[in-house]
């Protein structure tokens, strides 16, 4: 039976609804998928992580004047998980209470004078060949979310720096917004771009998850 022309658009619309609108008009471009994306540039490192560096001690996050203690503590597992995800080396963490007991402070800044023989003591205690510092250099817990991170990977044996990083991430930058949304996309390479999670643009914790991942992706390769 031939259908009247006026009925065809309605049937097409109904079919789209029943199918869950699984496709999107090719002219619609979501910047969370197409970019451009934020690329950290303010980092330097060795061409490769030395083969001798097999275990690294990750220190507690130092918030200093920029972040309250509770916020710094909440970042410890976030940065630990992101570092382990990179699988560059075995990661062990220095607990805050142990840092307080051994060195008189709960966390240590990479920009301040270190306790006497700090690298050697930590390296020997944990059987590690390097120590990784993470400092907060900027923080804003409400819109626009902002998190600045300075990080340094120090070789225990000769106290040289194998990698340094210093960058500020802010949702005032559209490239950062695109990158956060892509990071939390449940279907990064699929055909449904409209179900991307955007709550990370309002959640300091989830935003920090993206930041930590972006930071440690710049570590030198093995």
What CATH number does residue 99 fall under? 3.40.50.10610
Q: What token pair was written down for 116?
A: 């006497």
Mind listing the pLDDT tens digit for each residue in 142-197? 999 999 999 999 999 999 999 999 999 999 999 999 999 999 986 644 444 444 46
Domain carrying residue 54: 32-216
Phi-psi region of 117 (alpha: psi -120 to 50; beta: other; left: phi over 0): left
Residue 32: pLDDT band by 50, 70, 90 thresholds? confident
Residue 29: pLDDT band by 50, 70, 90 thresholds? confident
188 within some domain: yes
Q: What proportion of the chain, given as a percentage, has pLDDT over 70?
A: 82
- Answering whether pTM is above 0.85, one says no
Q: Quote the Cα angle for 100-101-102, to 5°.
A: 95
Q: What token pair was written down for 54?
A: 């097999």
Rounded CA separation 76/134 (Å): 9
Q: What is the pLDDT of residue 132?
A: 98
Mind listing the pLDDT tens digit for each residue in 33-66? 889 999 999 999 999 999 999 999 999 999 999 9
22 within some domain: no
Tell me how long the chain is.
222
Domain count, the chain: 1
185 within some domain: yes
27 within some domain: no
Rounded CA separation 107/95 (Å): 9
pLDDT of 201 above 90: yes
């Amino acid at each position: 039976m031939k259908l009247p022309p006026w009925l065809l658009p309605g049937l097409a619309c109904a079919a789209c609804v029943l199918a869950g609108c699984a496709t999107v008009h090719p002219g619609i471009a979501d910047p969370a998928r197409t970019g451009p994306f934020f690329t950290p540039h303010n980092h330097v490192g060795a061409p490769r992580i030395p083969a001798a560096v097999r275990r690294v001690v990750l220190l507690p996050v130092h918030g200093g004047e920029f972040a309250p203690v509770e916020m710094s503590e909440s970042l410890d597992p976030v940065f630990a998980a992101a570092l382990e995800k990179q699988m560059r080396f075995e990661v062990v963490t220095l607990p805050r209470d142990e840092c307080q007991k051994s060195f008189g402070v709960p966390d240590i800044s990479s920009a301040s004078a270190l306790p006497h023989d700090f690298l050697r003591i930590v390296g020997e205690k944990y059987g590690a060949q390097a120590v990784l510092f993470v400092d907060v250099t900027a923080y804003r817990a409400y819109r626009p979310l902002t998190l600045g991170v300075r990080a340094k990977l120090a070789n225990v044996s000769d106290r040289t720096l194998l990698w340094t990083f210093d960058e500020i991430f802010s949702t005032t930058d559209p490239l950062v917004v695109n990158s956060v949304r892509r990071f939390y996309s449940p279907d990064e390479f699929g055909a449904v771009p409209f179900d991307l999670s955007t709550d990370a643009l309002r959640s300091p914790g989830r935003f920090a998850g993206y930041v930590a991942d972006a930071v440690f992706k710049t570590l030198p390769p093995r």
